[in-house]
Structure 1
Amino acid sequence: MARNMERFDPAGTIQKALPEGWAWDERETVLLGILERQAKHIEQLEVALAGADYLTKTAKGEPKVNPLVAELRLQYAAMSRTAEAIRLPDVDGESSSKSVRHQRAAMRRWGREA
């Protein structure tokens, strides 16, 4: 059962949002490729789950959540970690050496909103 899903293109989406003159380094290019493959896997899992029952049964006949749900959750977490590893430029076009997660943690420690 195939759903009409708009294809997710993280590399293209991010590329369009980059400041003029910004280019990815080799590491970031590899990470964008990984991100795109992860997106394809997630799309396939979502299509499979859409055609399956959310709850399945164990060998003893007890209800349990479909294993596709857990796999999707893991894939989303992995994709999030990959996306965090890509250094995006700040508003002024400079690349930040600190990860977003570290910046947010520092802001919370100092009592500022992040």
Structure 2
Amino acid sequence: MLNDVASGDHQALASLYDHIARLVYANVRRALDDPIWADTVVEEAFVEVWQQADRFDPSHTPAVIWILDLAHQLAAEHNRSDEPQVAAVPATSPSREPHVSHVIGARR
């Protein structure tokens, strides 16, 4: 499924979100006391998945572990700061990220 996400398939991202967002949230929630920050980190994690899916190597780790690790890293960054870490939106592909937020936001 991450291959489809890497190729820009919005539906694949939506399907991936539907399948594992609760698991990602549960893991992030263990690291963060605030459920609002946990929601933010989960959204950031899926933006990172969208941006980095082409870097995923299935021979190295299962996809769900890779995604959980991304989310864990973002939660750890948040814990080290007073402000949430917002995923950077590259200027080279502006048409992709707004849709990512829309897909994720519509499924909460």
TM over 0.5: no
With normalisation by structure 2, the TM-score equals 0.29
Choose between structure 1 and 2: higher strand proportion.
Answer: 1
| Structure whose alpha-carbon radius of gyration is higher | 1
With normalisation by structure 1, the TM-score equals 0.28
Choose between structure 1 and 2: higher helix proportion.
Answer: 2
